[in-house]
Structures are given as C-alpha cells and as structure tokens.
Amino acid sequence: MEIKILRLPAVKVLSGLAKSTIYARIAAGLWPRQVGLGGCVGWPADEVAKVISAHIAGLTDGEIRSLVLRLESERKNILIEELR
C-alpha cells in the first residue's frame, strides 16, 4: 500500500490553517497527530483529506474528535497488519 505523507507547508496550503492553529487543533483532538519521519514530521494525506472534508461537511467538534481517534487507530492497525 502506498501512503503519501504531507509536510507542514503542504498541510497549511490544503487546509488554509496556520501552523499554530494546526498544532492547537492537534492538542484539542481535532486534527490527527503527525508521524515522525526520522528527523522531520508529516501527516498521512488521506487523514488530512478526511478531516478537511469533515469540517466542510459541518461535523461537530465531537464528531471530528471521534473521526480523528478512528483515523489514528486505523493507522496503527494497518501497520500491525502489514508487519504480520
């Protein structure tokens, strides 16, 4: 499976959010946590797209928090399955 990772400048362009807003949303559970890439970080492109779509669709903060938790859980499960 191919996974595209977006660095912060690309996430800012796609979301229209400032760096401080992205990190505040991570702290609030409204944005997926970044993944480490050996000295730098990024976000899975599909997760970014799903969270942006959720905001566009007008989901509540609670619904977006649930989505973020599910995305991060799926991220771990996909990795575990691929390592087996």
Tell the CATH topology of 5-83. Answer: Multidrug-efflux Transporter Regulator; Chain: A; Domain 2 (1.10.1660)
More confident residue, 40 or 26: 26
Over residues 15-24, mean pLDDT: 97
| Residue 58 to residue 56: CA distance in whole angstroms | 5
Cα–Cα distance for residue pair 58/75, rounded to 1 Å: 24
Averaged pLDDT, 11-19: 97
Where along the chain do its domains lie?
A: 5-83
CB 31 within 8 A of CB 14: no
Helix (H, G, I), strand (E, B) or coil at 44: strand
Identity of the amino acid at 73: S
Tokens 């996430």 correspond to 11
Instruction: Write out pLDDT tens, residues 45-69.
Output: 999 999 999 999 999 999 999 999 9
In the prediction, which pLDDT does 69 show?
Answer: 97
pTM: 0.87
